[in-house]
């Protein structure tokens, strides 16, 4: 019988007791990738042909597209607010926020209500997306670092690139997608 135990350093040694041999590999510990801490379950959704993911723990609910009341002097990507069971929730169009062309609403267009962190506390915000895909469990080894080019999304807004099957999903850091000034504007509605 042979066993293998890893320690931290850089050599290998063996020890035998009767028919049992144990090899101890001493190796230098490897720091986990920054993306490793983002492993877990993600709600995935589409904007056009691009696929995105948000940490499932940040998702409060998914609702069908409803009437949105416009709010003056907001950034163009903020469609307005909705009244969701007595709570006023700001609604942003992710296509517009990412500089993508507009698209007509379909039966699949919906609002993902997510929880943002702000100085005032937790703030729920609605995100208009083309369609919701699925909930995926993405392991750390399936997440690569965010690219510095090739996406409509600013690199600092991306947690990583989740490889799922033959596809790739951009995993969003939802707090960084929306500037602190916008979160502050809706702070009176924070929980």
pLDDT for 178 equals: 78
pLDDT for 9 equals: 38
**Mean per-residue pLDDT of the chain:** 79
- The yes-or-no verdict on residue 39 having pLDDT over 70 is yes
Would you call 150 helix, strand, or coil by DSSP? coil
Clarify whether residues 14 and 99 are in a common domain. Answer: no
Kindly write down the DSSP assignment for every residue of 43-64, as one continuous string: EEEEETTEEEEEEGGGEEEEEE
Question: Would you say residue 98 lies in a domain?
Answer: yes
Q: Rounded CA gap, 183 and 171, in Å?
A: 20
pLDDT for 17 equals: 42
Look at strands 20-27 and 12-17 and give their pairing. Answer: antiparallel
pLDDT band, residue 52 (cuts 50/70/90): very high
Out of 5-9, 45-49, 161-165, least confident range: 5-9
Cα separation values, 34 from 5, 55, 90, Å: 26, 15, 31
Clarify whether residues 102 and 152 are in a common domain. Answer: yes
Question: Would you say residue 62 lies in a domain?
Answer: yes
pLDDT band, residue 18 (cuts 50/70/90): very low
Mean pLDDT computed over 102-126: 90
Clarify whether residues 98 and 19 are in a common domain. Answer: no
Clarify whether residues 126 and 170 are in a common domain. Answer: yes
pLDDT band, residue 114 (cuts 50/70/90): very high
Clarify whether residues 66 and 120 are in a common domain. Answer: yes
Q: How many domains does the chain have?
A: 2
pLDDT for 8 equals: 37
Clarify whether residues 99 and 145 are in a common domain. Answer: yes
Which CATH number characterizes residue 152's domain?
2.40.50.180
pLDDT for 110 equals: 98
Clarify whether residues 107 and 163 are in a common domain. Answer: yes
Q: Using one digit for the tens of pLDDT, what is the confidence trace for 61-110?
A: 999 999 999 999 888 889 999 999 999 999 999 999 888 999 999 999 99
- Write out the residue range of the structural domain in which residue 2 sits: 1-30
Instruction: Look up residue 186 and give its DSSP letter.
Output: T
Q: Rounded CA gap, 161 and 149, in Å?
A: 13
Give the predicted TM-score (pTM) of the model: 0.75
pLDDT for 75 equals: 86
Clarify whether residues 25 and 116 are in a common domain. Answer: no
Q: Which of 184, 57, 172 is nearest to 118 (CA)?
A: 184
Mean pLDDT computed over 35-47: 82
- The yes-or-no verdict on residue 144 having pLDDT over 70 is yes
pLDDT for 122 equals: 83
């Amino acid at each position: 019988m042979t066993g293998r135990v890893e320690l931290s350093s850089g050599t290998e040694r063996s020890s035998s007791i009767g028919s049992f041999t144990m090899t101890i590999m001493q190796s230098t510990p490897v720091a986990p990738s920054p993306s490793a801490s983002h492993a877990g379950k993600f709600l995935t959704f589409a904007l056009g042909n691009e696929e995105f993911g948000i940490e499932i723990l940040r998702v409060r609910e998914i609702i069908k597209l409803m009437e949105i009341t416009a709010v003056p002097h907001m950034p163009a990507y903020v469609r307005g607010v909705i009244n969701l069971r007595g709570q006023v929730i700001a609604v942003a169009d992710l296509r517009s926020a990412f500089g993508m062309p507009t698209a007509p609403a379909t039966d699949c267009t919906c609002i993902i209500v997510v929880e943002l962190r702000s100085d005032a506390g937790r703030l729920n915000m609605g995100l208009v997306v083309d369609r919701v895909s699925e909930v995926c469990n993405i392991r750390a080894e399936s997440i690569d670092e965010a690219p510095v080019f090739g996406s409509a999304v600013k690199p600092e807004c991306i947690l990583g690139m989740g490889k799922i099957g033959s596809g790739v999903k951009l995993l969003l850091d939802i707090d960084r997608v929306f500037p602190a000034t916008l979160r502050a504007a809706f702070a009176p509605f924070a929980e």
